[in-house]
Amino acid sequence: MTATKITPGLITSVAGVSGLPTSAWVKVGSTTADDSATILVTGLSSAYGNYFIALSDVMPGSDTDVIFQVGDSSGIDSGGTDYNSATTIRNQSTGEWNESNGNTSTISLNGSNTPNYGQAVTGHIWLHQPGNSAQTHAFIWDITYSNSNSVGNVSTEHVSGHGKRMHVINLDRIQIKLSSGNIASGTVTVWGLSSA
């Protein structure tokens, strides 16, 4: 008798068997920074109605804002009135406050509360529209980081926000960068969610 080892997970195909479930999460792309000016992920399209964008240990090379932008086949959009956004910032020391920014060339994921060098930014961004939506693309996000690089003197920050690309585009890419300097390290991964 021969034993077959089965690794736990979602079995999506068996010869001669139809109707098995398929994974709802499909990896679109992933990019890792190494003292990089930007982290760019392409491949978004009309294939999925929802996209999940994960920021894993994105490490600023200096004290600076973490910027989100989107674009199409012609490149990343950075016009002066391309984006609107609003954030809620929660600080363990000073409490909570709200901010809004209209007609900007970028979206600052952290609002005005800048992450410090040596403290990674982690979190996620949701896009609940296909790349070719007939509507302007909207985003919601949650990130966390610290605003002190002194061990034992770290204040934890949590920022949630929402923003919008103010004109309809055929969105096929997203970008993370800093308001100044390079990204020392970290990975951004995009998944598409199938509704089938």
**Residue positions counted in the chain:** 196
Residue 12 pLDDT more than 50? yes
Of the chain, the percentage scoring pLDDT greater than 70 comes to 84
Residue 112 vs residue 35, higher pLDDT: 35
Q: Is residue 18 part of a domain?
A: no
Q: What is the count of structural domains for the chain?
A: 1
The backbone torsions φ and ψ at residue 170, rounded to the nearest 5 degrees and listed phi first, read: -90, 80
Q: How far apart are CA 69 and CA 60, in angstroms?
A: 17
- Where residue 145 sits, what CATH number does that domain have? 2.60.120
Task: Tell me the average pLDDT across 26-52.
Answer: 97
Give residue 158's domain range.
25-193
Question: Which residue type occupies 168?
Answer: V
Q: Is residue 16 part of a domain?
A: no
* The token pair that represents 177 in the structure block: 């960068």
* The token pair that represents 17 in the structure block: 């068997």
Q: Is residue 20 part of a domain?
A: no
Of the chain, the percentage scoring pLDDT greater than 90 comes to 72
* The token pair that represents 20 in the structure block: 């098995």
pLDDT digits (tens, 9 = 90+) for 108-121: 999 988 888 888 99
When pLDDT is cut at 50, 70 and 90, the band that residue 149 belongs to is low
Q: Is residue 152 part of a domain?
A: yes
pLDDT digits (tens, 9 = 90+) for 64-91: 999 999 999 999 999 999 999 999 999 8
| Number of Cβ within a 10 Å radius of residue 139 | 23
Q: Is residue 12 part of a domain?
A: no
Q: How far apart are CA 140 and CA 6, in angstroms?
A: 38
Q: Please, what is the average pLDDT of the chain?
A: 89
Q: Lowest-confidence range among 61-65, 70-74, 159-163? A: 61-65
Q: Is residue 19 part of a domain?
A: no
